[in-house]
Amino acid sequence: MDLLLIFFMNCIVLSSLPGPNNILCFNYTLRKGALYSMIVCLGRFPSYLILMCISGFLLFFAIGIDGNILNSAQVIGSFYIIYLGTKILLTVTPENELKHTSNKSYFLQEFWVALSNPKAILVFLAIFPNFIDQTNNFFLQFLLLGSLAMLAELLMAYSYILLASLLPKRSVFIQSINKVSGAALVVIACLMLFKTFVKSDFMSFS
């Protein structure tokens, strides 16, 4: 139980970081309310489930994954986040933006933003093996760890929603949050691109 608690706390710390999904969640809450945000933020979990299943497959068969594949996917995802951040940044009024954006669109934004960072696979590969007992059933352990990771992600998402719900809902304030949120998403995406191109062997000709 002590190991599971340590694992859960690790997941809490990682999930609490102000990544693109949490920034979007914060932004949704100010514009459309806490209940709405609590629903659409669930769009990230199918993506995390896909990434964790890939991680489980790689761990079970003890095979590697080509770094260039992950880097290529991250580059594509980074440009999508830049597009999304720019769109939020340039929003004229919250009322106009809400009128022309469907619930499905927000749900899909959460999905694609979560899936746009396949480096999460490497995080799962780095953390999960430390808490898996090779003498016991691998799949049951992976399922338990995956469930705890999802729970930590949900708790942190709802923490961001709670924080945003306590802030004023004045139009001018929401406009300011739109600017900050959009800019933050663009910065995060640019940092992702920087790490991909500068700190990896991606596009290396050697």
Domain boundaries, the chain: 2-198
Instruction: Provide CB contacts within 8 A for 20, sequence distance 6+.
Output: 81, 84, 113, 116, 117, 185, 188, 189
Low-confidence ranges of the chain (pLDDT < 50): 94-100, 202-206
Instruction: Provide CB contacts within 8 A for 75, sequence distance 6+.
Output: 193, 196, 202
Residue 56 is predicted with a pLDDT of: 83
Q: Are 113 and 4 in contact (CB under 8 A)?
A: no
pLDDT, one tens digit per residue, over 114-171 is 887 766 776 777 778 778 887 888 888 888 988 999 999 999 999 999 988 888 766 6
Q: What percent of the chain has pLDDT over 90?
A: 11
d(C-alpha 197, C-alpha 186), whole Å:
16
Q: Return the exposure string of 155-173: e unless at least 16 CB atoms fall within 10 Å of the residue's CB, then b.
A: ebbbebbeebbeeeeeeee
Residue 167 is predicted with a pLDDT of: 82
Residue 65 is predicted with a pLDDT of: 58
Whole-structure pTM value: 0.72
Residue 118 is predicted with a pLDDT of: 66
